[in-house]
Structure 1
Amino acid sequence: MDHFLKQKIFDNTIESYLYVLGTILVMLLLKRLISKYLAQQLFRMIANKKNQTARKSFLDLVVQPLGLFLLLSMTIIAVDKLRFPGVLDFKIYRITSRQLVESVANAIMVIVFIRLCLRIIDFIATILEEKANLTKDQTDNQLIIFFKDFFKVILVIIGILLMMKFSFNKSIGNLLTGLSIVGAAIALATRESMENLIASFIIFFDKPFAVGDLVKVNGFTGNIEKIGLRSTRIRTTEKTYISVPNKQMVDSIVDNMSLRTQRKAELRLEIDLSATAAQLQSLTDAIKQILTVPEIENKVVFLSETGKNAHVVLIEFFTSAEQPIEAFNLLRQETNLQIINWLEQHGIALAASNTSVTVKQV
């Protein structure tokens, strides 16, 4: 038996192979328990341990990549005890097969580690979003989304640098120096993208709008669904989904309709020139009386102009900003119908050049 274990295959004894295989099998059997224990300890460090829902969510996110990271680490440590077979030792463009295997192993370790860190960031962002949802201010929510994406980008860059260091044996210091020069050239070539990135910071700190706000920009009206590093996503009133570069959101005039204090409706009546001054006075008084309802907070009715084509009566009224749009439109309809009915009863005609009531919502 001892003679059998001492036999060599590819420059290593069978006993060495069995030790390595046994170590990997033991780690394969225990990785779930070990990773779950380590994940629980990590959870206690970053979250409230009494929150069982968050605990389960964290374990679902972290246990699997953590177990894979531990298994790979132990496998690499165990295999490293073996002597690299001479029959497999060859060179490819001045790179030995041993160096190639080590580089691939290091790259896989870095990828798995960065994936684990990304899962942790997702969990932390989820916890912070739950806390932010308890407040009325939506600024916290969009900051969490922004910085989650921002830190993920930083982690990916760190992962690339680690792969360059451990897989390709490049000096990170020299690499960073080179990257600074290349980065300057890239910044000039991608000036628009950099401007959008800077604009995203301006949006977060200046706070002209937040996720969920109803805005009007560049001829589009819709609700803000996401503010990203490069663009802002808007769900329009036509239910389409558009992306507006953040630079345009900063440089353009953005009408944040969610921050208005009142809803405004504007009506322009063009009355036929045959109407007398007394009739026009009665009309303005009647419209003021029609607009005397609890839903209307302020109103303006006056004869704004007269000329060779028509007498123009301008009507504006304001309601609460919290009033649902359906109720607001119904109020506008009832007001229009009452005005038209009054005109018909008193024999006042609209101007021939415009036989309808022009209505404008602001």
Structure 2
Amino acid sequence: MNEFLNQVYFNNSIRSYIAVGSTILLVLLFKKYIAHYLALAIFKILKIRWKNIDFPTFRALAAKPLGLFFAVLITVSALDKLTLPSELEFTLYKITFRELLRMTGTFFIIFTFFQFIIKMIDFVMLMVQGVYIKEQAGQGTHQLVFFFKDLIKVVVAVIGLLFILKYTFNYDIKGLLTGLSIVGAAIALALKESLENLIASFIIFFDKPFATGDSVKLNSVSGVVEKIGLRSTRIRSDDKSYITVPNKQMVDSILDNQSNRVQRRAELKLEVSSSTSAGAIEQLLSGIRGILSGTGVLASSAFVTSITANAILINCEYFTGANAREFNVIRERNTLKVLALLEELHIATAQSVSDIKIIRDEPSDPDLNEHIQVQK
């Protein structure tokens, strides 16, 4: 039996062929189970740090790429134990067959490893997204999680490509990195405004002056925020038009987030006739204070603020809840009640009065001269 196993074909013994073939066959047959237990071992390590991670989700994302990476690694390592037959020592486009095999094996190892890393990023971001949305429910700021997930995946993919160039094709990536840095600086100068808007989007995500669904007012634009992008913010205006505002302007300008209002202020200014008696004014103030203490009003005040030649000025101020529709209803109700109170007390509002006097002088000549004086 030993003599049979020690027989050499194509520079390798039958024993070597059986060992390598058995290893590869076992890995392929039990790849699923091996991946499951490897994923379970990694999960237990992660569980020490993060208590709330979910194993089914982790296994669904990580088990398959982990099993594929493990199978490729074992297969390439096993095949490397065999000696390449002299019959296969040939050159193809200035590349030896041995070098071609090395490049192929290295490529698949690096590719499957970074594929597994990207899936792990998906899992981590899925967990972060779940926690983030739970803590920030209804605010829409979890868009930052999606952006960073894609950004990190792109960075990892670029690193994987550089590894492939370096270890598969033996490419000198130092010169490539230097060239990319120069190109990157040129692109940064050309895209200065876009980069400013990108940085402003980070400020919006972290500082949270507003979120998707908030009602905002910016300069002459007011409406509801429908989307916060990396370059601009989309607002559905009160006129139902779709407005795009650069993020830099959203950060640099004075912005009124009306959704964060806790109260709405209403003001009513009255100018009653200066001939109104003090008793009537007191009755009017008492009635107005009673009206403004009604349902929906959180705080109110009514005072005589000034007296002029023609009017007594009364300033009324009150606060309601933040709901715009309720505010308009309460304001209309109170205004009509104040008008009814004025009618009930027979108090007239101040009018602009003009006295016109026409003075006619006896003319010293035949022509008639008129002098008109107007007093207000």
Give TM-score scaled by structure 2 length. Answer: 0.64
Residues 165-218 of structure 1: CA deviation (Å, up to 9, x unaligned) = 234322233332222222211211222232233324444554534566553346
> In structure 2, do the counterparts of structure 1 residues 28 and 297 end up closer, same or farther at CA, with 3 Å as the change threshold?
same
Q: Note if 1:166 corresponds to 2:170.
A: no
Counterpart residue number, 2:32: 32
CA distance in 1, matches of 2:331, 2:101: 75
> In structure 2, do the counterparts of structure 1 residues 221 and 300 end up closer, same or farther at CA, with 3 Å as the change threshold?
farther
The 3-state SS of whatever aligns with 1:47 is: helix
Contact 2:292-2:300 at 8 Å conserved across structures: yes
The 3-state SS of whatever aligns with 1:169 is: coil
The 3-state SS of whatever aligns with 2:216 is: strand
CA distance in 2, matches of 1:164, 1:132: 37
Deviation at 1:301, TM superposition (A): 6.0
CA distance in 2, matches of 1:82, 1:268: 99
The one-letter code sitting in structure 2 at the alignment partner of 1:155 is V
CA distance in 2, matches of 1:99, 1:336: 90
Paired residues for 1:204-353 under 5 Å: 206-209=207-210, 214-217=215-218, 219-223=221-225, 230-231=230-231, 236=236, 244-265=245-266, 276-277=273-274, 286-293=287-294, 295-299=296-300, 316-321=317-322, 324-325=323-324, 327-339=326-338
Deviation at 1:58, TM superposition (A): 1.4
Contact 1:215-1:221 at 8 Å conserved across structures: yes
The one-letter code sitting in structure 2 at the alignment partner of 1:35 is A
Contact 2:84-2:98 at 8 Å conserved across structures: no
The 3-state SS of whatever aligns with 2:54 is: helix
Once the two structures are aligned, what percentage of the paired residues are identical?
A: 39
Counterpart residue number, 2:176: 175
Counterpart residue number, 2:74: 74
CA distance in 1, matches of 2:47, 2:245: 36
Q: Note if 1:56 corresponds to 2:56.
A: yes
Number of equivalent positions: 335
Higher normalized contact order (CA 8 Å, seq sep 6+, divided by chain length): 1
Contact 2:36-2:63 at 8 Å conserved across structures: yes
Contact 1:214-1:224 at 8 Å conserved across structures: no
CA distance in 1, matches of 2:242, 2:40: 40
Contact 2:235-2:244 at 8 Å conserved across structures: no
Counterpart residue number, 1:124: 124
Contact 2:141-2:208 at 8 Å conserved across structures: no
Residues 15-39 of structure 1: CA deviation (Å, up to 9, x unaligned) = 9887666544322221211212121
CA distance in 1, matches of 2:111, 2:293: 69
Contact 1:297-1:317 at 8 Å conserved across structures: yes
The one-letter code sitting in structure 1 at the alignment partner of 2:118 is L
The one-letter code sitting in structure 1 at the alignment partner of 2:334 is T
Contact 2:136-2:142 at 8 Å conserved across structures: no
CA distance in 1, matches of 2:97, 2:246: 48
Contact 1:142-1:211 at 8 Å conserved across structures: no
Deviation at 1:131, TM superposition (A): 4.5
Contact 2:268-2:315 at 8 Å conserved across structures: yes
The one-letter code sitting in structure 2 at the alignment partner of 1:172 is I
Contact 2:140-2:213 at 8 Å conserved across structures: no
The one-letter code sitting in structure 2 at the alignment partner of 1:127 is M
The one-letter code sitting in structure 1 at the alignment partner of 2:35 is S
The 3-state SS of whatever aligns with 1:57 is: helix
Deviation at 1:149, TM superposition (A): 4.5
The one-letter code sitting in structure 1 at the alignment partner of 2:330 is L
CA distance in 2, matches of 1:242, 1:79: 62
Query: Which residues of structure 2 form unaligned runs of 5+?
Result: 307-311, 352-376
With 296-305 and 30-39 compared, the bigger mean Cα shift is at 296-305
Contact 1:139-1:204 at 8 Å conserved across structures: no
Contact 1:267-1:315 at 8 Å conserved across structures: yes
RMSD: 5.1
Counterpart residue number, 2:114: 114
CA distance in 1, matches of 2:122, 2:269: 54
> In structure 2, do the counterparts of structure 1 residues 340 and 185 end up closer, same or farther at CA, with 3 Å as the change threshold?
same
Residues 49-89 of structure 1: CA deviation (Å, up to 9, x unaligned) = 99687122211221122122222333444455474975985
CA distance in 1, matches of 2:74, 2:162: 23
CA distance in 1, matches of 2:179, 2:102: 25
Contact 1:142-1:210 at 8 Å conserved across structures: no
CA distance in 1, matches of 2:317, 2:101: 77
> In structure 2, do the counterparts of structure 1 residues 89 and 127 end up closer, same or farther at CA, with 3 Å as the change threshold?
same
Contact 1:49-1:55 at 8 Å conserved across structures: no
Counterpart residue number, 1:355: none
CA distance in 2, matches of 1:244, 1:17: 68
Counterpart residue number, 1:65: 65
Counterpart residue number, 2:197: 196
Contact 2:141-2:211 at 8 Å conserved across structures: no
> In structure 2, do the counterparts of structure 1 residues 131 and 52 end up closer, same or farther at CA, with 3 Å as the change threshold?
closer
